[in-house]
Structure 1
Amino acid sequence: MTHPIRILIADDERNLRELIVRELGRRGHEVEGVADGVAALERIRETPFDVVVLDMRMPHKEGIDVLRELATFPEAPQVIMLTGFQEVSTAVEAMKLGAYDYLTKPTKIEELDVVVRKAAEKGQLVRDNVALRAHAPGAAPFGGLLTQSARMHEVLRIIDRVAPTDSAVLVLGESGTGKELVARAIHERSTRTARAFVPIHCGALPREVFESELFGHEKGAFTGAVGTKPGLVELADGGTLFLDEIGEMEPDSQVKLLRAIETGTFFRVGATRPRRVDVRLVAATNRDLAEAMKTGEFRQDLYYRINTITVSLPPLRERRDDVALLARHFVETNAKYGLKRLAAATLAALETYAWPGNVRELLHAVERAVILSKGDEIFPTDLPPEILGSNAPSVPSASDSLEAMERQHIIAVLKQVNGHRGKAAALLAIDPKTLYRKINSYGIVPAELR
């Protein structure tokens, strides 16, 4: 575990309790002590502990009774029982009730420390399994960034420098440039690589649903919340949380995210007690966040929190050396449709096109060509018509603004789907609400789509 193990010691023998609290604290754990079972249950309801050490015999409520009640908790901590020599049969009963282990008094601190660490590790595995089954992201593993571009090699150099740190990273780039691949590369090269990489698209869900996905919710928190569900933040504990298109996040959600980043704690929807996590944050956006801050759409304090290190990705039109390399790679990855090769004229057409949709557009264009080509060679006629047609987007000049190029690309995609906004949003990989906002802000009118 990357954060200190949170331990509660419940024992009515004051001297022994204080000794255990002190000695385990010296070993880097966060430890509290209580004198009886009732107080132990109260603290567990208030604070999420990783491990609880229970004395078998305590006033008000014995350890075995506390264990029985913990079995009804939706997310109970791992329990270690402390027993006297004559209580071994009761300890066996405790194991059947779900205790991780039991130790007989007097116990050595070194032995208790080892058992506590193993119990905490088991608890983390259980939480990961629950979260994975709840969300099942199914994201493909990182397969490497292919490039021979000097600008991209500079990006890779920055990734290698920043990956071993825990600094927040902001990845900037147009849609389709590979921002998530960069985030995965940072995670894979970090000390957190053994833990989860968890992506979430900040503009793909309404605010209420987004917060439930990010922070989780308690049973009964809202209509349809029939059970407790861990959030993606918890799934990312010890690993990396990737917030894609963070510029689309609603202001209310930005406030909650900022608090979670600053304190390392958060509340599930409908919860009253905080939870603590240790995550590395990587965010990405294709928006101008400086402009969004001026208009009040993005919080300045959040911007400075996520912008410790900035990685700027060049669009594909500015790394033309990579077009042929990537195109051949995409032909190979689509070999299930047949072993094929790109004709010289096809490569020339691909290298001439402006690629307003960047690498994502190239991927889909090559996949389409592989499927539609009849022989073992892919010809220009197998490519999408906009790549060859007179209406294909021209190579932007240095004076063209990012907004102008994005407007041009949106119009091209809308024409391709006969003005259907839902289909256009799917092709652009953005939320329909985001597309609607962009159509209005760019003043795109139906006459331009004919």
Structure 2
Amino acid sequence: MRVLFIHPNFPAQFRHLAKALGSQPNNQVIFATKNENPAWKIPGVTRAMYAPHRQPNRETHHYLQNFESAVLEGQAVYRTAEQLKKQGFVPDIIYGHSGWGGTLYMKDIFPHTPLMCYYEWFYNGYGADADFDPDDPLSVDDYLRIRSKNAPILIDLVNCDQGVSPTQWQRSQFPSEFHSKISVLHDGIDIDYFKPNPGAKLILPQLDLSHVHEIVTYVARGMEPYRGFPQMIESLAYILERRPHCHAVIVGSDRVAYGKSLPDGKTYKQYMLEKVPLDLSRVHFVGSLPYGQYLKVIQASSAHIYLTRPFVLSWSMLEAMSSGCLIIGSDTPPVKEVIKDGVNGLLVDFFSPKEIAERVDEVMKHPTRMAEIRGQARQTIIDKYSLQQLLSRHLQLMKKLAKCS
């Protein structure tokens, strides 16, 4: 089977699929991407590099700058695909992430090849992430800009042969008339890698907490309101006061991955540490970590705080559950799809730092009862989200679609 993957950030959501397909000698797997990082190599997978020839014009209406960026991306991928076609490569299936623009013109260069799109998020001004925080109201301009962001995704929804969305919640954000095209199929969690390590002590190159018995953990790509970073920091003030021997480990970059930055140029970390006095000898910001060190953090976790607006569900929450973490998660739709309060985790009001602290305290006081919840958390991932099951389903879907061409 000849496969063309498309994602600017190789290998992203397609890592496991590309690895599985690349390991079979009868397959030819090409990955169109902008990521040249030599640290990421997948045997049997060839990278086809592309780069837009310019950035969006600053004078373009700001509602349309996202669309212009997608068009430039799609144009660049088309040109790369054109070269592949001249070299004799015509894929049996194309699978790309919708929204960036890379998939926009694939039906023009390969009209008879099935197009499969990964649909991560559809932007809505009402009832999801954008209008979730009452202290951060949207302007009319925001509503119109948000609606316009869907233009490249809508083109893909019309043109694709099959779509995939990782959760029911994320699929529900797309217009109902397209639901028949979108299967719910998570990327999958490697349960053999992300597994509990009872009695694990946390020792990182830059941090030794082997003497600490209570560790609260928090993991996110960035430090931002979308993932409840301000509420988590506020909760730590209560947690450290209630639990004098407790430490907190925060994994993530001091940046905004989703949502707005502060207007004064400060990061949310700077802003919150100025606002909330914390004993920084017990709060450890370790930055982004390689997988091996990140795994050690969640395996040593006593309580893991995961907060999110009604938005894309993070892999990190499921990886933490697979590792036996006790999740204290926000009572928001993406989390509630996976976690039932008191069964396989604990749910809290996203906006209540005091409630977060109270539930952390509850975890520390009742280790026996919490051990059962930890076990149920891992079982949830084994039953519903394991890579070992979902990868085969994903591959079957691709092969079925390719044979229909």
Q: Which has the higher helix share?
A: 1
Q: Normalising by structure 1, what TM-score? A: 0.26
Q: Which has the larger radius of gyration?
A: 1
Higher relative contact order (CA 8 A, sep 6+): 2
